C-alpha cells in the first residue's frame, strides 16, 4: 500500500495527515517536532506499513495544518494537544501506540495521561520528559521562560534562522553523506511563510509548560508502566542521552537504543530505527 494524504476538520481547522498501512493493523500515531511536520516520517512510513496502520498529522501551525485567516488561535502546547485529541476522536482511534519526537513528546504524553487505557506503547525518538535530557544550549529559551519580555523573545529568534535549522538542528552529529537536503530545506521554506516565526516564538515561550508537567509525565510512567522504547540520536545538541536513560528510572523495562545520529535521526537512520521499532512491536506492546 502507498501513503495516502488526507485532511479532517477539528474545531474549524483542517488538519492534514499522512496515512499508510491496512485498517486491520495496530495503529501507530506519529507526532512530529520543531520546526518540522509529518514529512519527517516520509522515509519511516514505508518501512513500517507492513506492521502498522500509520497516521501522522501536521500539528497546528506546522506543515499543511494552518489556522484559517481571521481565526484567533493561541499557540500553546495545550491547544495543540486539544486539536490532536479531536483528531484522534475524528478518526476513532480507540487503541494506539505513540511515536513521539521533540515537540510531539509533550503532546503525546499529555494524551497518554488523559487516556491511559488507549495507549498500547510509546516510542520516543529524542522526545524528552526529564530535566536530565536538556543540553546546555537552552539558555535563551530558559531566559524567555523566566522573564518573558520583547527582548528575551527576540533573543530566541535565531533558533528559527535557516542556518540554525540547517547546520545546528539537522547537521549537528549527522553523517553529512547521509543527510539529504529535502527535510531541512522544506522546514526552512515553512518557516519563511508569513506569521510562522511569531507562531513558533509563542510556542517557544510556552515550552515551559511542558517542563512543568515533567513530574506528572513521570508519575504516569510509574503508575501505568506503558511499554516504552527510547531510540535516540546520541549527538542531539538539544536533548542528550541522559534523557533517554532516565526513562528507565520510572520504567525499568524500557528499551533504550542510542544511535550514531543527531536530533533528526530519521533523516540518516530511518532503516535502523524501523528495524528497532519492528522488533519492539513484536516483543513489547502486548
Q: What is the pTM of this model?
A: 0.97
31 beta partners? 100
Q: What percent of the chain has pLDDT over 70?
A: 98
| pLDDT score for 184 | 98
* Nearest partner of 27 among 128, 97, 106, judged by Cα: 97
pLDDT digits (tens, 9 = 90+) for 174-207: 998 999 999 999 999 999 999 999 999 999 999 9
Q: What is the pLDDT of residues 230-268, one digit of tens each?
A: 999 999 999 999 999 999 999 999 999 999 999 999 999
- The answer to whether residue 282 scores a pLDDT higher than 60 is no
Neighbouring C-beta atoms of residue 170, cutoff 10 Å: 24
Residue 281 — very low, low, confident or very high, per pLDDT cuts 50/70/90?
low
With contact defined as beta carbons under 8 Å apart, do 137 and 128 qualify? no
Q: Percent of the chain at pLDDT above 90? A: 96
| The one catalytic residue among 32, 39, 235, 263 | 263
pLDDT at 1 over 90: no
3-state DSSP assignment of residue 225: coil
The x, y and z cell numbers of residue 118, run together, are: 488507549
Please list, in sequence order, all residues whose beta carbon lies within 8 angstroms of the beta carbon of residue 272, skipping any fewer than 6 positions away.
259
Predicted pLDDT of residue 285:
43
Instruction: Please determine, for residue 160, whether its predicted confidence score (pLDDT) is greater than 60.
Output: yes
* Dist CA 176 CA 84 (whole Å): 34
CATH of 4-135+210-283, one of 2.40.50.100, 3.10.560.10, 3.40.50.1820, 3.40.109.10: 3.40.50.1820
- Residue 264 confidence (pLDDT): 98
Burial call 243-253: b when 16+ CB within 10 Å, e when fewer? bbbbbeebbee
| Total residue count of the chain as it appears in this document | 286
Closest CA to 118 of 226, 204, 264: 226
Angle between helices 77-90 and 104-114 (to 10 degrees): 60
pLDDT band for 3, please (50, 70, 90 cuts): very high
Instruction: Provide the pLDDT for residue 249.
Output: 98
| pLDDT at residue 128 tops 80 | yes
Examine the pLDDT at 286 and tell me if it is beyond 80.
Answer: no
Within 13 Å and on the Cβ side, how many CA atoms surround 87? 28
The answer to whether 77 touches 207, Cβ cutoff 8 Å, is: yes
Cα torsion 220, 120, 55, 283: sign: positive
Going by the DSSP 8-state scheme, the letter that residue 39 receives in this structure is G
C-alpha cell recorded at residue 229:
522504547
Over residues 106-113, the mean pLDDT reads: 98
What is the distance, to the nearest Å, from the Cα of residue 274 to the centroid of all Cα atoms in its chain? 16
- pLDDT tens for 43-86 read 999 999 999 999 999 999 999 999 999 899 999 999 999 999 99
Computed over every residue of the chain, the mean pLDDT equals 96
257 is annotated as an active-site residue: no
Q: How far is CA 206 from the centre of its chain?
A: 16
Q: What does the domain layout of the chain look like in residue ranges? A: 4-135+210-283
Mean pLDDT of 106-133: 98
Amino acid at each position: 500500500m502507498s501513503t495516502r494524504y488526507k485532511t479532517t476538520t477539528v474545531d474549524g481547522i483542517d488538519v492534514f495527515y499522512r496515512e499508510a498501512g491496512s485498517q486491520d493493523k495496530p495503529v501507530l500515531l506519529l507526532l512530529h517536532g520543531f520546526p518540522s511536520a509529518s514529512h519527517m516520517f516520509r522515509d519511516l512510513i514505508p518501512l513500517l506499513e507492513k506492521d502498522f496502520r500509520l497516521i501522522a498529522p501536521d500539528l497546528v501551525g506546522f506543515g499543511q495544518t494552518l489556522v484559517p485567516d481571521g481565526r484567533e488561535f493561541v499557540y500553546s502546547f495545550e491547544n495543540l494537544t486539544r486539536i490532536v485529541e479531536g483528531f484522534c476522536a475524528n478518526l476513532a482511534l480507540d487503541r494506539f501506540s505513540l511515536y513521539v519526537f521533540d515537540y510531539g513528546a509533550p503532546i503525546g504524553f499529555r494524551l497518554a495521561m488523559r487516556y491511559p487505557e488507549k495507549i498500547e506503547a510509546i516510542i520516543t525518538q529524542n522526545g524528552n520528559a526529564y530535566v536530565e535530557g536538556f543540553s546546555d544550549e537552552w539558555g535563551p529559551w530558559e531566559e524567555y521562560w523566566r522573564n518573558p519580555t520583547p527582548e528575551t523573545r527576540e533573543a530566541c529568534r535565531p533558533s528559527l534562522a535557516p542556518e540554525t535549522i540547517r547546520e545546528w538542528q539537522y547537521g549537528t552529529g549527522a553523517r553529512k553523506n547521509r543527510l539529504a537536503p529535502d527535510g531541512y530545506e522544506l522546514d526552512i521554506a515553512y518557516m519563511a511563510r508569513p506569521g510562522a516565526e511569531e507562531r513558533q516564538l509563542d510556542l517557544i515561550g510556552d515550552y515551559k509548560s511542558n517542563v512543568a508537567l515533567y513530574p506528572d509525565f513521570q508519575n504516569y510512567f510509574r503508575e501505568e508502566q506503558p511499554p516504552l522504547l527510547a531510540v535516540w540520536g546520541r549527538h542531539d545538541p538539544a536533548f542528550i542521552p541522559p534523557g533517554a536513560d532516565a526513562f528507565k528510572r520510572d520504567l525499568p523495562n524500557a528499551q533504550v537504543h542510542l544511535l550514531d545520529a543527531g536530533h533528526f535521526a530519521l533523516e540518516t537512520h530511518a532503516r535502523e530505527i524501523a528495524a528497532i521499532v519492528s522488533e519492539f512491536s513484536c516483543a513489547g506492546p502486548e
